[in-house]
Amino acid sequence: MPIPSSLVTLLVGMALVLSGLWVGYNVNLLPLDASVNAPVYDSLFRVLFSIGTILFLGIVGLVVFSLVRFRRRAGDHTDGLAIEGNLLLEIVWTAIPAIVVLFVGIYSYDIYERMGGMSSLNDHSAMHRMPAMETMEASVSTAGAGADPMAGTALKAPRVWGGIGTGGGETNVLPVEVTAMQFAFIFHYPEGDITSGELHVPNGRPVELRMKANDVIHAFWVPQFRLKQDVIPGQPTVLTFTPTKAGSYPIICAELCGPYHGGMRSTVVVHEPDAYDAWLRKNSPVTATVASAPSTPTA
């Protein structure tokens, strides 16, 4: 008895979905996840990878099957069947991709919100509420406003043009000012007045990078944090992340910035909190003089 084609289709479809899910959840293409939003990103990646695998295997399978099953046999000069279309099929394969991309869009919006992307620096909505604008903009940089060289007066805090902010809900944020130039990143810590070529941050504490560029556009990228933000001359941007794993990770410039673009790299060192405090004390010109005598035994 021949197997009905609907049953074959169902079985092939189930096998496809299962293999797509298996690939999505078992093939790891990503580097170490070392920030709070990296596992969130990875779950989005797994979903996209699964859906993509199902679609790709299905379509390649159809192409290969057609090429083998429907190939022209030698000596056969006849035509195929004169099928010019099928409205039901057209509706099905319009609706299914539409539902899939709608789902993917809503899901990635949710992921983006969990990463903090939607919450901060609402400069667009701020424009519609003119009186509130200055306070909102100022709130982005309240924590380090005193040390911000670009904030001449408290009211004229620079507008933040892009990036992922803290959303204002975080306390205990570590502000770091980032200056990008050809071909280096300079990190300045308002807390201890430290200037460094490497980024040192404590594990588990939110870090807010306030970034500006001196010459051309650069981009700050840490693959292990799954975060990137352009550093744009004339337009300050922010990037917030919370590291979760101690270690050293590369900082990479991702925007073509001149001949030595490929060499424009640095390192972010994630310390355990007490090791970070030790690093801060060791390098800070302010605390080094004040706190050196009493704290030497424990440091």
Q: Tell me which of 147, 179, 228, 278 binds other proteins, using CB under 8 A.
A: 228
Q: Which two tokens stand for residue 76?
A: 């056969």
Q: What angle do the packed helices 37-69 and 5-26 form, to 10 degrees?
A: 140
- Taken as a whole, the chain contains a residue count of 299
Q: Tell me which of 48, 147, 181, 246 binds other proteins, using CB under 8 A.
A: 48
Q: Tell me which of 83, 88, 130, 293 binds other proteins, using CB under 8 A.
A: 83
The least CB distance from residue 267 to other proteins, in Å, is 12
How many residues bind other proteins, per CB under 8 A?
87
Residues numbered 133 to 172 that lie near other proteins (CB under 8 A) are 161-162, 164
Q: Looking at 70-78, 133-141, 187-195, 273-281, which segment touches other proteins (CB under 8 A)? A: 70-78
Query: For residues 260-269, b (16+ Cβ closer than 10 Å) or e, as one string?
Result: ebeebebebb
**Roughly how many angstroms between the first and final C-alpha of the chain, as a whole number?**
82
The least CB distance from residue 180 to other proteins, in Å, is 12
The least CB distance from residue 183 to other proteins, in Å, is 10
The least CB distance from residue 124 to other proteins, in Å, is 5
CA-to-CA separations, 146 to 158, 237, 249, in angstroms, rounded: 13, 18, 30
Residues numbered 236 to 265 that lie near other proteins (CB under 8 A) are 237, 250, 252-263
Own/partner contacts of 154-159, CB < 8 Å, gap of 24 or more, are 158/236, 159/123, 159/236
Sign of CA dihedral 92, 93, 96, 101: negative
**Does residue number 72 form part of the binding site for other proteins (CB under 8 A)?**
yes
The least CB distance from residue 170 to other proteins, in Å, is 17
Q: Looking at 64-72, 132-140, 147-155, 288-296, which segment touches other proteins (CB under 8 A)? A: 64-72
